[in-house]
Structure 1
Amino acid sequence: MAMAMAMLQAAGAAEIEHPGGTLLAHLQRVSALLSAWGARPALVSAGLCHAFYGTDGFPVALLDLGRRAELAEAIGTEAEALVYFYASCDRKSSYRGLTDDTGLFTDRFTGTRTHPGLEARRDFAELTAANELDIAAISPQMRARHGADLLALFTRWRPLLSEPAWTHCRSVLGQADH
């Protein structure tokens, strides 16, 4: 992950404001959270790099899509594919059907609609949970504003989330008794 950290530093992630400090600090926390949940190395690496291409919720891109091979060289092709998949999500059209085998996932970069497999949907849900829960845990304002919606989303996605992710979700969002 040293190459990924160097790329993040070169792209200015340590200077980009983000809830809880900088984008770099957020990315490091997301990666650490995934690791603590027992995620495999490719998903932990994707957690560190998930904002490289921007996201539907955070439009700042650190790396142009034409340079995907550089990120793949730094973190591996599986991890880079996870980063792309996460970044490409058109949330409005994709979130609703994520737990459904026939649910459509829309790539916001290309407009392509696919039916991702179970592993891809689990990885996406886990990375989304780590991302959103980091922000909710560090920002009481964000938690107050979006906590109920996040809890509803992750409750729907419960079949896709690992037990540690679900436990953390309930803890951060105040539903430890469910």
Structure 2
Amino acid sequence: MPDLTTTTDRAVALLREFGAEGIAHPGGTLLAHLRRVQARLATWQARPALQLAGLCHAFYGTDGFPTALLPLDRRHDLAGLIGAEAEAIVYLYASCDRKATHPALHRADADFHDRFTGRTRVPGPQSRRDFAELSAANELDIAVVDPAFRDTWGPGLLVLFTRLRDLLSADAWLECRTALAGLDSGPGAAN
């Protein structure tokens, strides 16, 4: 696979081709958001596959952002561009039925509910860590650029990321605590 910079440039070109630069998203456009998520993951020293997944995480839409840029029957196209490992992370993130999955995700034996297929499975430890780290990077980006989002959803996100703390890198956990501090003083709040 080409280096991270070359692959990132190609992924950004594909995102532009599919209109991500013109889709509104908190903090500007979808493309701007995706680039910030990738940058946050890079700051947290995530491996290249996870950084690329951060840049591409919305290609199939998500449970929280239904606009899809690429249909699922073209997964092989994205995998050919960013690599199979990064594309698998993108699919896992996009396929998550958050309401059904998030409450128990911290448990190693928890079912992951695929909103595309309706099936459940138990992801392995690396997949769960990748999902948690990408979730934190995504939600923190929105919380930082949109105070209304942070005020509304921040307390619940802090509870979620507190439960997922063992799946997060030290840098991700620190930023979760910092960005969401003071939003929740109830049980389970971060110290």
TM range, smaller chain: over 0.9
Are positions 1:116 and 2:123 aligned together?
Answer: yes
1:138 aligns with 2:138: no
Q: Which residue of 2 aligns with 1:107?
A: 114
Aligned CA-pair RMSD:
1.2
Q: Tell me, what secondary structure is at the counterpart of 2:22?
A: coil
Task: Measure the CA separation in 2 of the matches of 1:69 and 1:115.
Answer: 23
- Please say if 1:95 is aligned against 2:102: yes
1:145 is displaced (CA, Å) by 0.8
Quote the Cα distance in structure 2 between the aligned partners of 1:91 and 1:53: 15
TM-score normalised to the size of structure 1? 0.97
User: Which aligned segments of 4 or more residues in structure 1 are displaced greater than 3 angstroms?
Assistant: none
* Distance in 1 separating the partners of 2:154 and 2:12: 30
Equivalence for 1:61: 68
Gap runs ≥5 in structure 1: none
- Spell out the pairing of 1:1-178 with structure 2 (5 A cutoff): 1-174=8-181, 178=191
Secondary structure, aligned partner of 1:99: coil
Q: How far apart, in 1, do the equivalents of 2:108 and 2:177 lie? A: 25
What fraction of aligned residue pairs are identical, expressed as a percent? 59
Match of 2:4 in 1: none
2:109 counterpart letter in structure 1? T
Q: 1:85-105: CA deviations, max 9, x gaps?
A: 000001111111211121100
**Residues matched between the structures, number:** 178
